Structure 1
Amino acid sequence: MKRIVFHLDFVSPYAFLAFEQLPRALEGLSWEVELRPVLFAAMLRHHGQLGPAEIPAKREWTYRQVLWTARTLGVPLHLPAVHPFNPLSLLRLALACGEGGRINRYVAETVFRHAWLGGGDAADPQRLAGLRSQLAPARDPDGAQVKAELRANTDAAIAAGVFGVPTFEVDGHRFWGLDALPMLRAFLEGDAWFDSPQWHEAGARPGVRRSG
């Protein structure tokens, strides 16, 4: 049975859609998934990038494209009242309900739907208090252990070459984005292309780099 590590951050609508679509995308296959919350903002800082919602024109397009994609997939999605929001409280709350940097599907689903259904402010203190009461974490979300797990998850993901969310990692191969789900399925089905020169040499092209 293949083990898929799903790197996610609740701030990402694409991570939410990928989470909702994953069972359908891999229907009929034998697999297990390990859900690992990471801090997307730390990845952006590491790679010197802005997030899609930090570029005005891209932000506008992203929201439209997300709403269209959700509509075509038949997945209910409502843009939060504020976005991007600070996801730290959600990430730590989720991890406080899990162990070893992993969370279960119920916790991930509950937190994702808190953020992406209903159109509320995902970081509103009253809503967060209600979510915490619902999940009843076994550990303190603000405790040192939980904070360390989030840092460790994020650092390990960056070290493995993860640069964004959602990313699915299996057998040393990484698949980024909602639109990579068909590739992930093909890999799990044993498509030999993923061990071909095209896969391995795809990034070995020279190119011009900006100087500043």
Structure 2
Amino acid sequence: MKHVDFYLDFISPYSYLAFEQLPKALEGLSYSVAYKPILFGAVLKHHGQLGPAEIPSKREWTYRQVLWLGHVNGIPIEMPASHPYNPLAHLRLALATTSDGSISRYVAETIFREVWRGGEEAADAGRLAALAARLEPRREPGSEAVKAQLKANTDEAIAQNVFGVPAYAVDGRLIWGFDSLAMLRAALQGDPWFDGPQWQGAAERPSLQRTNR
């Protein structure tokens, strides 16, 4: 049985889509998954990148594409009333339900569906309070221990070269994106391509050096 670390942020519609599609994409395989909430914004800052929603034309395309992907894959999805929003409350609540850095599939599903179904305000205080009552966290979501765990998860992801979500770490390799679930399946099946020259060669290819004139 192979193990997958699934790095996610509830703010990401692609994380939601991948989460919902994962059982179907990996059907028939023997595997285990650790669902690990991370702060996507901190990953972007580390790499000096803007998020999709910070570029107006990309923001529009992202929202259209994720709604299409939900439609074509049979995954219910509605945009929250406001997006992007601050996902810290959801991330901390998720981690407060456990004593380590991974969360149950039930917790991830409950929060993802709270955000990405119904079209309501994801960060509404009343809805957050009701969500916390449903999930019955073991720890205080605002505690220093929970905050430290979120940072530790995010640091771990960055150390594994995660640059976006969803990201899947398996056998020391990183696979990224909703559209790479077929690639993840192949990796779990032990496809020899992953040990061939194309995987490693992609990392070793030199880039064109720019010169100032």
Mark the CA change 1:130 to 1:210 in structure 2 (over 3 Å): closer, same or farther: farther
Distance 1:74 1:143 in 2: 38
Q: 1:24 is aligned with what amino acid?
A: K
Q: 2:106 is aligned with what amino acid?
A: Y
Q: 1:59 is aligned with what amino acid?
A: R
Following superposition, which runs of at least 4 residues in structure 1 exceed 6 angstroms of deviation?
Answer: none
Q: 2:134 is aligned with what amino acid?
A: Q
Q: Which residue of 2 aligns with 1:75?
A: 75
Q: Which residue of 1 aligns with 2:33?
A: 33
Helix, strand or coil for the counterpart of 1:91? helix
Distance 1:86 1:146 in 2: 17
Aligned sequence identity (%): 61
Corresponding pairs, count: 212
Mark the CA change 1:211 to 1:36 in structure 2 (over 3 Å): closer, same or farther: farther
Distance 2:48 2:210 in 1: 13
Instruction: Give the TM-score of the pair, scaled to structure 1.
Output: 0.97
Q: Which residue of 1 aligns with 2:95?
A: 95
Distance 1:209 1:75 in 2: 43
Deviations 1:188-212 (A, max 9, x none): 1111000001101112222236789
Deviations 1:91-134 (A, max 9, x none): 00000001211100100000000100000111111111111111
Deviations 1:150-197 (A, max 9, x none): 000000110111111000101101110001100010111111000001
Q: CA RMSD in A?
A: 1.3
Extract unaligned runs of 5+ from structure 2. Answer: none
Query: Are positions 1:43 and 2:43 aligned together?
Result: yes
Instruction: Give the TM-score of the pair, scaled to structure 2.
Output: 0.97
Q: 1:21 is aligned with what amino acid?
A: Q
Q: Which residue of 2 aligns with 1:205?
A: 205
Distance 2:94 2:64 in 1: 28
Helix, strand or coil for the counterpart of 2:69? helix
Q: Which residue of 2 aligns with 1:125?
A: 125
Distance 1:183 1:102 in 2: 23
Distance 1:177 1:52 in 2: 14
Q: Which residue of 1 aligns with 2:143?
A: 143
Extract unaligned runs of 5+ from structure 1. Answer: none
Q: 1:160 is aligned with what amino acid?
A: Q
Q: Which residue of 1 aligns with 2:110?
A: 110
CA displacement at 1:68 relative to structure 2? 0.4
Distance 1:48 1:125 in 2: 31
